[in-house]
Amino acid sequence: MKPKIIITRKNIKNLILKIKGDGNIYISSPIFLSDEHIYNFISKKERWIEKKLKETTKKSRFSSPSYSNNCEIFYLGNSYFLNLKLCTKCNTYISNNSIVIETPKPDDTSLTKEIINSWYRKQGKILFEKLLIKYLEITNKKINKFNVKTLKSNWGSCNYNKKIINLNSELMKKDIRFIEYVILHEIAHLVHPNHSKAFYSYIENFMPDWKERKSL
């Protein structure tokens, strides 16, 4: 969605440009400046604006939603609206541009959060297993176990001694190419239990575009 340009004229001397969390461009302008002057100023700041908009999008995309009806939530890198429906049993599914949650308490944000996180873990278990099988075959490695957890910090971890990989269910919000990078990253720790040059060279052997994926 293209950002809106919101101009407010004030009794100030200089133009002030801000990018806020809603992804819009806010301009505070001296009262006497023309629209043409303001838009020329915005045009000169185009690169800076693009950079800030990307940073804002990343922050908002993977921050915690309000879990209220019609709030924005993410699944596999795509944006959806949350559609809460009153129902005696809990159920979650995607319909068009909405993630629908059927729940006995649509106004209970704590319950909604619990339902969504449970759904992410369930879907993650299915997807992560497929991707782990794919990249374990590619790298000719084996693990004894993998777990899906809702974590606050790391996207994943690897216990290289026990050959156990843990993956964060929050990954289900991210683009699948990023998920693949994280999975290969953890598999690489079976060989290199560090973040040395050899570790990243190992990843690059199997995923030449890992830097691009990491930035998604």
The CATH homologous superfamily of the domain defined by 122-214: Metalloproteases ("zincins"), catalytic domain (3.30.2010.10)
CB atoms within 10 A of CB 208: 9
Residue labelled with tokens 């994280």? 182
Which residues on neighbouring strands pair with residue 79, listed in sequence order? Answer: 74
Per-residue pLDDT of the chain (216 residues; tens, 9 = 90+): 577 889 999 999 889 998 876 678 899 999 999 999 999 999 999 988 888 887 766 555 556 788 999 999 999 989 899 999 999 999 999 999 999 999 999 999 999 999 999 999 999 999 999 999 999 999 999 999 999 998 877 899 999 999 999 999 999 999 999 999 999 999 999 999 999 999 999 999 999 999 999 988
- Looking at residue 6, the DSSP 8-state letter turns out to be E
Torsion angle of the four alpha carbons 157, 173, 22, 211, in this order, in degrees rounded to the nearest 10: 60
How many Å is the Cα radius of gyration of the chain?
22
For the chain, give me the number of helices (H) and strands (E)?
A: 6, 10
